[in-house]
Homo-oligomer: A and B are copies of this chain.
Amino acid sequence: MPTSLVRETDVDVLIIGAGPAGLMCANALAKAGVDVRIIDERPSKVAAGQADGIQPRTIEVFQSYGLADRLLREGNQMHVAAFYNPGLDGGIELTDRVPDVTAPTARYPFEVTLHQGAIENIFLDSMKAMGVEVSRPVVPTHLDLDTAKLGDPNEYAVRVVLKHLESPENGTSTEVVRAKFVVGTDGAHSWVRKSLNIAMEGSQTDYVWGVGLSSVSHPMRPLLKAMPVDMVPQTDFPDIRHKTAIHSENGSCMIIPREGDMVRLYIQLEGKDAVDATSGRIDKKRMGPHQLLQVASKSMRPYVFKTPDEFDWWTIYIIGQRVASRFSVDERVFIAGDACHTHSPKAGQGMNASMNDSHNLAWKLVYVLRGWAGLSLLKTYEFERRKYAQDLIDFDVKFSGLFSGKPRTEINLDGVSHQEFIQAFQTFGGFTSGIGIHYGESAIVRYDNQSCAKNVVVGQRMPPQVLIRAADGRPVDLQDMLPSNTLFKLFVFTGDTAAATLNELASDVEVIMHKFATRVELCCILSPSKRPDFGFMDLPLVLRPHWSRVLSDEKDLRETQGGDAYATYGIDPHAGAIVCVRPDGYVGMVAPLEEADAVASYFESFMA
């Protein structure tokens, strides 16, 4: 019977593609208890190479999922950025060493480098502990939406036909999956994107785009942007373990130290070195790692850089800077990661942007699946992440342009000066660290009342700050109160509020908590002037739902950390404020203590 030959399954969320974006999504959904399935076309996972830089903000996100310990244990840390420029004798010389991360509020003030396989393993192990594994090798062959079912989030509105490439079960390799939602995280050549007919916007061919980027000093000449080689170097170059940008008369290169003794070099080549003149396409046969390293070796003179015999990984590619025209279809099928945006790797954005797409999307899917919010909440995914992807490209064009430009010398007065470069490096610090990601105003981001908590920027992630837990004197970071557990976090900075006002506030908060209890966690932050006369047990009961949920803005008894939270956050210690943080750690709204009902109306505007 033909019907018995095709396996049919239902799932709440089907994720297509198990790279960093897909795995972040699967892990987040599994952690939230969602019925999730993830497939990948590759028979086994990536071992090494590919993307590798984790930004400060992404480390914070890992921390919110309880995954930062391992990332920090296994990864290399880049604390210093060094800059070399042509010296007087034809070789390069050190111009400057600066902190690699300049964003002042970064909790982890460094970048982590770790090969993609190791990062994927962190997710895979976390998912495995929750009973979710990647089905592979499996490819989707057909996807359609049932328009009649689109209105009800409980309906399995998406139908995807899968083909199992190995060990078919029940005598067939074909499976039909009915899903409530599908997330396509299947890379730059995304099958999901293509099957939805979503166009990529931006430069239409890599070649043309390459020309555009190289315009600073090489107008109209194609420039290959990324030629990474991973290796264990033998060199007397003193900055080989720093992130180092080298501008030399013999070309440019960038050093990215990696885990262990490994180093990745990004080597700048003239386009003609590796491009087939006839087709205009990359010809990997024209340029191998030895040739690449000879170029690097030349640019590092007078330092000795020996070509190793073995390479961990290398490639040559051209990256187009493009963004998909849409990130979702009918709030039922989404694309995330490289499937919807591609970037130059210079600023180390790619994997970070991809994982943060999923981080943004996952809790919204959970809210809709649980019936806590309507489908319209999902519109904010494209709104927030597409804007970010575009900002990223604007940034990248500027940054890459500076990097590709020849250094300014006596002969080349049109070149990029070190001052220009370093200024750009630091100006863009908020961007390259991921700390500065800023979401626009929407139902879940409300800019009004910003003045009552000046430095808690609505639409940005909640900054870290050490506070002292009132009950046990333990220093805790406020970000530790922001686990990715799908709940909104309501921080009540009580200020110097008099007892009567505190009781009024407590009644207001009680109403909110009563209505949204399952979706909101409450935490109180006592003001520095209120303690120690005012103990946490003096708070109305509703404001201290558990002993661990009252923090105090003071130094610990040993005077080594804590204090200054109200000042850091720009909250008047007399007036106090309410800060509402979204499940993904981004500030959704702030309000004065007297306007607690603004919180209720905020929640009501998008929660069911």
Binding site for B on A (CB under 8 A): 69, 73, 76-80, 97-99, 109-110, 236, 238, 240-242, 257, 261, 471-475, 535-537, 547, 556-558, 560
Contacting pair A471 B241 (CB below 8 A): yes
A69 to B69 Cα, complex, angstroms: 8
Cα distance A73–B261 when bound, in Å?
29
A77 and B472 contact, CB distance less than 8 A = yes
Q: Judging by beta carbons under 8 Å apart, are B557 and A472 in contact?
A: no
> Which of A99, A471, A472, A474 counts the most chain B CB atoms within 10 A?
A472
| Residue in B79, B80, B537 whose CB lies within 8 Å of A236 | B537
Contact status of A473 and B69, CB under 8 A, knowing A238-B536, A557-B97, A558-B109: no
Question: Provided the pairs A79-B557, A109-B558 are in contact, do residues A547 and B474 lie with their beta carbons within 8 angstroms?
Answer: no
Contacting residues, chain B, for A79 (C-beta < 8 A) = 472-475, 556-557
Across the interface, name the chain B residue whose C-beta is closest to A472: B241
B537 touches A238 (CB 8 A): yes
From B77, B98, B241, B557, give the contact of A80 (CB < 8 A).
B557
10 contacts between A and B (CB under 8 A): A79-B557, A99-B558, A109-B558, A109-B560, A110-B474, A240-B471, A241-B472, A242-B472, A242-B473, A257-B472
Given A77-B474, A79-B474, A547 and B99 contact (CB-CB distance below 8 Å)? no
The reply to whether B238 and A78 form a contact with Cβ atoms under 8 Å apart is: no
Nearest 6 Cβ contacts at the A-B interface: A80-B473, A241-B472, A241-B471, A79-B473, A99-B557, A238-B537
Given contacts A241-B547, A547-B241, contact A80 B472 (CB under 8 A): yes
Tallying the copies of this chain within the complex gives 2
Extra inter-chain contacts (7) besides given A78-B472, A242-B473, CB under 8 Å: A99-B556, A99-B558, A109-B558, A110-B474, A241-B471, A241-B547, A242-B472
Determine the residue in chain B with the shortest Cβ distance to A547: B241
| A179, B515: Cα distance in complex, Å | 67
Q: Which residues of B contact A535 (CB under 8 A)?
A: 238
CB-CB nearest in chain B for A537: B238
> Shortest distance in angstroms between A367's beta carbon and chain B's nearest beta carbon?
28
Chain B residues with CB below 8 A from A98, complex form:
557
Residues of B within 8 A of A97 (CB): 473, 557
Give the shortest distance, in Å, between A509 (CB) and chain B (any CB): 21
Q: Which residues of B contact A76 (CB under 8 A)?
A: 472
Q: What is the minimal beta-carbon distance from A219 to any residue of chain B, in angstroms?
A: 37
Name the residue among A109, A473, A475, A557 with the largest chain B CB count within 10 angstroms: A473
**Which residue in chain B gives the minimum CB-CB distance to A546?**
B261
Bound state CA distance, A93 and B536, in angstroms?
17
Tell me which residues across on chain B come within 8 A of A547, comparing CB atoms.
240-241, 261
Q: Please indicate which of the listed interface residues A97, A110, A261 has the most CB atoms of chain B within 10 Å of its own CB.
A: A110
A386 to chain B, nearest CB (A): 34
How far does the alpha carbon of A240 sit from the alpha carbon of B471 in the complex, in Å?
8
CB distance from A73 to the nearest CB of B (A): 8
A472 to B99 Cα, complex, angstroms? 11
Q: Which residues of B contact A110 (CB under 8 A)?
A: 474
Closest to A535 in B: B238
A547 smallest CB distance to B (angstroms) = 6
CB distance from A399 to the nearest CB of B (A): 21
Residues in B whose Cβ lies below 8 Å from that of A261 = 547
Q: How far is the CB of A102 from chain B (nearest CB, A)?
A: 9
Docked CA distance A90–B537 (Å): 22
Residue of B nearest to A72 (CB): B69
CB distance from A425 to the nearest CB of B (A): 13
Q: Which residue of B lies closest to A82 (CB)?
A: B473
Shortest distance in angstroms between A37's beta carbon and chain B's nearest beta carbon? 30
- Which chain B residue has the least Cβ–Cβ distance from A560? B109
Q: How far is the CA of A77 from the CA of B469 in the complex (A)?
A: 11
A242 surroundings in chain B (CB, below 8 A) = 471-473
CB distance from A433 to the nearest CB of B (A): 13
CA distance A109 to B475 in the complex (A): 11
